[in-house]
Structure 1
């Protein structure tokens, strides 16, 4: 039987190879194994969130300022609708209504633009502090890093996943958690202290989200001046909630950023020195 590899020499092994092919295979060494897949995700590393936090705070201030402008435009539109309800008609009231409506729409567009830009920068900051928190304490987090962004966009779960991640970040960045050398650990199921800053921010954010959607739908379905006036009042209440949520978010961002910055600057805690037992 001929060699199954070279097809010229007589096979001398049970595998069907000749002596020459056996020697060539031995000299070449074992065949290369399958490629090693890359590690899943990048290792966590500390990066300063201070610059991003400043940008987020400025943008949240812009959001609050635009909301104040929207409150004013809502007041103007309510006054005009009130005059229409009381029976004021004519060219003058029509012109006032058109101006008030255009002004109110402009305020809404400004709100959307400010919110979109702020959300983008906030998510970048939020992901960064989540990665930093994993360096401080890798065992406390109940959700992976990807949920720091994805959790905001998945329906239903976006009502509580971001808060849960924020609580984990807060606890990992506080004094109770491990420092940079990871000499201590906190279990994910360990008892947690209260989180008034996180809870206040999240309660206002979710409340505003629900009220805004309900009021916007009612405004779009309004058929007459009286209904428009009523729904504008509801939207103004939503704007006031948004201002409160922006202020609470500023407090949350500043507090958490300062905690992480202070913890990173402090370095690992000194290891306890064990005194030798005295000689008997």
Structure 2
């Protein structure tokens, strides 16, 4: 293993955590709003109040889509830097660094590659015996959320009160699952960043104690043996 000092992706991690927290909060609000709309529809049909609440849900869903895209940027930046650090800690198996970006966009492969990369970085960075359940939980809830969003996007909040209520009844568990995916994703980002911070401290100590390193750091020659 090389004695290069790794740089934990703290700034990218903080940005990713902020984005994931915002997604979780917005989805929780949308789920609560959908439950309120269902209650309004079951009590009085498509009233003006229920219609306004559905409009709010439509706007909120569009905002959630945009927020997800914005959050993807720091998450991918964070994963790129974490994958780079993993090369220094213990070269991970599987997909190379370019797939950190391409893996999210290539059809079908995007159902597997990001999970494989995060899993490889986790195995390279985590202490022995550390469970990978957080990664599995994040990816499982994320895939369910993607499928739920795709299905619910084909349905419209128009028509009879019964139809709108059925659409919202489908949307509530999708939004709740999205909250879980954001929370598990934040947990993965936080824990992996902490693992790499621990490695950075150990590598820095190893480099500082290596023979001749002080001479090179001061621009001189190492002392003769």
- Asked whether the two chains share a fold, i.e. TM above 0.5, the reply is yes
> In structure 2, what is the equivalent of residue 25 of structure 1?
none
Shift of the 168–152 alpha-carbon distance from structure 1 to 2, 3 Å rule, reads same
| Structure with more relative contact order (C-alpha pairs < 8 Å, separation 6 or more) | 2
Aligned equivalent of 1:171, options 123, 136, 144: 123
CA distance in 2, matches of 1:113, 1:215: 17
CA distance in 1, matches of 2:51, 2:159: 16
Aligned equivalent of 2:183, options 247, 269, 278: 247
1:120-269 pair list within 5 angstroms: 120-138=73-91, 140-175=92-127, 195-217=132-154, 219-220=155-156, 223-267=159-203, 268=206
Does 1:66 find its partner at 2:26? Answer: yes
Shift of the 259–79 alpha-carbon distance from structure 1 to 2, 3 Å rule, reads same
Q: What are structure 1's unaligned runs of at least 5 residues?
A: 1-43, 177-191, 272-280
Shift of 1:156: 0.9
Shift of 1:216: 2.5
Shift of 1:122: 0.6
Q: What are structure 2's unaligned runs of at least 5 residues?
A: 211-225
Select between 112-121 and 229-238 the one with higher mean Cα deviation: 112-121
Shift of 1:222: 6.4
1:231-265 superposed Cα distances (whole Å, 9 cap, x missing partner): 11111110000111111111111110000111011
Shift of 1:221: 8.4
Select between 140-149 and 219-228 the one with higher mean Cα deviation: 219-228
Shift of 1:215: 2.5
Tell me the TM-score normalised to structure 1 length. 0.66
1:155-200 superposed Cα distances (whole Å, 9 cap, x missing partner): 1111111111111111111345xxxxxxxxxxxxxxx985211111
Does the 8 Å CA contact 1:73/1:107 hold for their aligned counterparts? no
CA distance in 2, matches of 1:146, 1:256: 20
Shift of the 157–222 alpha-carbon distance from structure 1 to 2, 3 Å rule, reads farther
Does the 8 Å CA contact 1:67/1:243 hold for their aligned counterparts? yes
1:11-160 pair list within 5 angstroms: 46-85=6-45, 93=47, 95-138=48-91, 140-160=92-112
Shift of the 193–98 alpha-carbon distance from structure 1 to 2, 3 Å rule, reads closer
Shift of the 45–130 alpha-carbon distance from structure 1 to 2, 3 Å rule, reads farther
Q: Which has the larger radius of gyration?
A: 1
Structure 1: 4+ residue segments shifted above 4 A = 268-271
